[in-house]
Amino acid sequence: MLNSIKVCLIFLNIFTIFASPSNSNNNENTANYYPFVKIGSKHYFINPSLKMNWYESFDYCRSIGGDLVNIESLEELLALQKYVLEINIGSQLWTDGNDLAREGRYTSHTTGRPLVFVKWTPNNPNNQGNNEDCIEVRLEGDNKTLLMNDNNCFNEYYAICQYRKLTANDGRSFCVVLDQNENCMLRNLAEGFTKAADMFKSCA
């Protein structure tokens, strides 16, 4: 069992090595983010042909390499507002915010932490019918302002997915588990893969 865990960690660590800043030039290529598009400082994807309940939306975003959006600032909300207006989707859209675990305590399902930013529609969140635990964003008023509202998690809306990036913390967490020899072995293995990839390139 321990060996299986180590093998998993080894492959995850190899992935981290290849996804390190030394390869960042490729990662900046927009094509690598497909179908996500850059809006402000993040990459997002909204499927205009798919409305889902909140749980399905969360699974859907995970299945394409993302998470339901965790809106962290007014700048991010305004950038999304501009994009939603541009694509003229004109409806309600799910975010990852919810108070499913404890009524009135709104957390990000992506980070597991309290929301760092909220901008509610008037008189919300109101947990209407004691049955509103998931946060949508919707265009409100003549000014078409994107604002948040708690709503029934089983309502079907579009999902705003955000691209999920490995962070430096992900790399560190694996290194803590592996000892120095194993990390050296991984580095050698990664270098071996790089050399093999170069060899195949020269064949082409």
Residue nearest to Ca ion (CB): 127
132 contributes a contact to Ca ion by CB under 5 A: yes
Instruction: Please choose, out of 11-19, 37-45, 96-104, 112-120, the segment that lies near Ca ion by the rule CB under 5 A.
Output: 96-104
Q: How far apart are CA 166 and CA 67, in angstroms?
A: 12
Q: Residue 147 pairs with which residues in a beta bridge?
A: 138
Q: How many DSSP H helices and E strands does the chain contain?
A: 6, 8
148's CB contacts (< 8 A; 6+ apart) are: 71, 95, 97, 118, 119, 120, 121, 124, 125, 135, 136, 137
150 contributes a contact to Ca ion by CB under 5 A: yes
Q: Residue 168: left if φ>0, alpha if ψ -120 to 50, beta else—which one? A: alpha
155 contributes a contact to Ca ion by CB under 5 A: no
Closest approach of Ca ion to the CB of residue 49, in Å: 26
133 contributes a contact to Ca ion by CB under 5 A: yes
Q: Which is nearer to Ca ion, 127 or 183 (CB)?
A: 127
47 contributes a contact to Ca ion by CB under 5 A: no
136 contributes a contact to Ca ion by CB under 5 A: no
Binders in 51-90 for Ca ion, by CB under 5 A: none
Closest approach of Ca ion to the CB of residue 113, in Å: 18
Query: How far out from the chain centre does Cα 40 lie?
Result: 15
Q: Which residues of this chain interact with Ca ion, rule CB under 5 A?
A: 99, 124, 126-127, 132-133, 149-150
